[in-house]
Chains A and B, each alone.
Chain A
């Protein structure tokens, strides 16, 4: 009996020591998306999955995932063919977040940070924000581009150490050779966000039921 109890205590503390901080929740998954925890195998990601610090998330072709951080509701939207490492350090009041983007496209909707900045790191650049909305497109061959949607993002090229503030309507480029520059955003270059809706001839159906049980459906068609 004592053995079982001690074993239980051991397993409990072991799990505490091994497990990362739980920091985010997957709220939407489209297509083939996987995650890897520690040295484990790649596992299919499902809606409601709780990410721990250090989890790796991978999206395949035509897939998409959205996750939300539990302390301030900052959101990360991950487009197809993207791989990120999600890291966070929990404290009593906030989570210090860092995303390592190993190629691909993500959208970060960052709410005001209580503790430090929200950092997104690629092999070429570091984007540091306190509260903003932007796209980050990372290409291992050419470099990174950041499309500012709202607020200000500080983009730093890791090679040259140069920094640039990216604001709404501006796209910043950070290249392998250390160059960093900005241009007015071409709307066509803004990636599509599946959570904001897409496609044509969308139909919204709302069903009503009156006191006698009779049902009627309101159909709204829009583009």
Chain B
């Protein structure tokens, strides 16, 4: 069941307003996103965001992870008229909450994000609350399992009347408090009638209706913590005979067509998604497909096609698009197109992947999207003529990946594994020359008329002017082909009846930033750091030929690996990092520290425990400054972090407290000066007394930043203040009160939030210093009502105030901006629930440097044609009203008339979206 957050939906109305004030914002202000107050555990959550750019982003994605996780999962946003939407799958919403980042990438290379500052290291934390009927908890953060043995009936079995006996054994479930066991048949609690003696549960349901039935056993452990419920189903009928092979199949197909116009720019998208599953009991074949009109040869693939063949629980074979996970430091859900094999024999597991991370892209479909003149590389010959350099742009190499992971799990107590991954750009994959690609030439090219050229026409024009062209077919100056090898191991153990787990994960990377020139020989390495071919790397000599003491000295004979022979695995040359993995000088004095702090290593050690309603975490993680995994591009390097946190559930899981502390810095290398320290304290309280009762959520987070700088810096002749010692405090409180008036069931939600930034050095700053952080306050009230006649309405009021710091001359000014939104939306079911009519109207009033109003209408309907087919149609229009355009003496709508009535109001966006879904 989808849980739609209506609160941020109306945030899209502020876009023109924000567009006007974005000058005062940082670059990332070009997207707007209002986070929801909370998510619901196990239920899908739709987030909304809006771009303030006039052009659409080439990539709009949401990155999410479990709080404190090392890497993110990615989902693409979908354009829905004025908004971009993304659905976080329910399994990702767990008791721990969720951290996410919204990132929009634009054609000019800009990336806008939410949160604005350091988003991937300080993602937004979304707290979660349990569903009202907590029956299905996702596997992402599943409750602890109890080893309950289903005795009868067998899951999915067809049984006759004589065999209808519900029985389960708690023989191996020693941690279950039997007094808490509840049995539900078809969601009806029959616990009072069941027998539970000596760890054996039995219940005779008597005569049942023919058809499917479900059984669920709910229970708690001895600490009164919920355990994962056991549920299965069976069919009451007559036992079948001689049907040894049953093939089930099922799936769905969705078609979506949208036609929209945003600020006069048309946008039409068609998309088909589908899923097909064939199940032959012992084997399963699942295919996922997405075909979209956004697919383009100029982008990475937007279409998806992936098939998984599962042979029992032993083998998974992936072909096409799949999302492998080795560990959070190497690859953790990044899409691969190719082949994946996962063989799991419980005690030993082998994972293998081979394919492409990126496909080849030859050029972009705009001017300078294939070639670009690099004026800086222009050379002048002795005769005065010039050689102009034309570089290739807009391409992406095919990036190949292969990897292997072997792991063992002994007696569910000891875990160990080794893994490696190899990633390399294929330099032969991109077209070396583009005959039709156009690029611009300006007046810097002497004797050639500024304009747009192809390579041939430009070469002719240069030749006519007496110049020449250098357009290499490889070793281009811009983007370089990369090579990456990552390897490592992991160890882990569980103790005290799995209540506590300890895991250690260590990885090391080799990264080459430019493999155009291939691998170096030993002799090349000898002269890589010095000019002497003397059998020593790094040894330098004075003018008399005597060795200069104190320089790095590495005997080439000690290089075990011959780079030439090793080049199939990794290309070793002077562009690799690290050149030497360990600091040899420090190794002598601090061997252990040198190994741990290798600049190209990444590791973590994590202790997790579950005791007496507490779930605690103690973790240290470090990612060296030169650690790179191209399969995990969002991993921040040069960072070490210590985390301690605890989550406590009290009052029969009605009250949850989550608090902790994180310290983050970049002091890995001894050479680091002025490290940036970030100390974060967070606290969350969620009080959910029960269905029909008011609930309260309170979040508090304090982030202190300090870069240990005590003195001012100078850039040229200018004194600049790079000192950082600040504190950002954010508070949020949400109260939900359910009540009934007459026959109308209502929910009233109040939400308060604010962010306050404090500069601890304010008394030491000069008067002209700009402390660039924005304070904000938000308040919202919404009322959702369910009427007995199938009508549901949501009424919302919200107001957000920003104080944006800017400099007015030499003085700091905080400019206030306020936007107020009122909206009403309604759903109504009719024609025996076959049709769900939807509509909404919203009004946004914004006040800042310019006043404006936005009026939006949405209308549509969902129609369930039959059990398998449903269709939906949604249309929307948004009008923009800016009264000041009436008197600004400008022709704002470019119709040749100044300050006429049509300037004041215009159609901001229109759109219509049609979707068709077929389940089979």
Contact = CB atoms under 8 A, between A and B. Distances in A.
Interface string B184-217: 0000000000010111101110000111100000
B239 A197 contact: yes
Contacts of B428: none
Interface string A169-187: 0000000000000000000
A195 B235 CA distance: 15
A25 B200 CA distance: 8
Nearest to B195: A48
Interface stretch (B162-170, B482-490, B689-697): B162-170
Nearest to A27: B152
Contacts of A92: 174
B837 interface: no
A22 B241 contact: no
Contacts of B167: 25, 27, 48, 68
A176 to B, nearest CB: 36
Contacts of B200: 22, 25, 50, 70
Contacts of B238: 197, 202-205
A78 to B, nearest CB: 14
A93 B165 contact: no
Contact of B198 (A22, A27, A28, A206): A22
A93 B200 CA distance: 15
A203 B158 CA distance: 12
Contacts of A196: 239, 241
A212 B273 CA distance: 30
B210 A206 contact: yes
B172 interface: yes
Contacts of B212: 206
A22 B151 CA distance: 15
A222 to B, nearest CB: 7
A50 B162 contact: no
A177 B440 CA distance: 104
What's the interface size class on A, roughly? Answer: 35 or more
B240 interface: yes
A204 B171 contact: no
Contacts of B172: 71, 93
A206 B204 contact: no
B789 interface: no
Contact of B151 (A73, A203, A217): A73
Contact of A198 (B150, B162, B198, B241): B241
Interface string A190-223: 0000011111001111111011100001000011
What's the interface size class on B, roughly? Answer: 35 or more
Interface string A33-54: 0000000000000111010000
B165 A28 contact: yes
Nearest to B209: A207
B162 A29 contact: yes
A197 B163 CA distance: 11
Contacts of B152: 25, 27, 68
Nearest to B157: A195
Contacts of B149: 70-73
A59 to B, nearest CB: 14
Contact of A197 (B195, B235, B241): B241
A222 B198 contact: no
A54 B240 CA distance: 35
B117 interface: no
Contacts of A22: 197-200
A30 interface: yes
B542 interface: no
B166 to A, nearest CB: 9
Nearest to B151: A68
Contact of A205 (B169, B237, B832): B237
A196 B242 CA distance: 9
B832 A25 contact: no
Nearest to A25: B167
A74 B477 CA distance: 70
A27 B210 contact: no
B240 A197 contact: yes
Contact of B171 (A26, A46, A66, A71): A71
B241 A70 contact: no
Interface in B701-758: none
B870 to A, nearest CB: 12
B210 A48 contact: no
A198 B242 CA distance: 9
B151 A222 contact: no
Nearest to B164: A47
A70 B197 contact: no
Contact of A28 (B163, B237, B243): B163
B185 to A, nearest CB: 14
A202 B210 contact: no
Contact of A70 (B162, B169, B210): B169
B555 interface: no
A73 to B, nearest CB: 6
A30 B162 contact: yes
B830 to A, nearest CB: 13
A48 B197 contact: no
B198 A50 contact: yes
B53 interface: no
Contact of A222 (B163, B169, B240, B832): B240
A28 B202 CA distance: 12
21 contacts: A22-B197, A25-B151, A25-B165, A25-B167, A28-B165, A47-B165, A48-B167, A48-B195, A48-B203, A48-B204, A68-B152, A71-B169, A198-B241, A204-B158, A204-B240, A206-B211, A211-B833, A222-B241, A222-B242, A223-B241, A223-B242
Given A27-B151, A29-B162, 14 more contacts: A25-B200, A26-B165, A27-B165, A30-B162, A47-B162, A50-B195, A66-B163, A70-B151, A71-B171, A73-B150, A95-B171, A195-B239, A204-B240, A222-B240
Interface of B: 149-152, 158, 162-163, 165, 167, 169, 171-172, 174, 195, 197-200, 202-204, 209-212, 235, 237-243, 832-833, 867
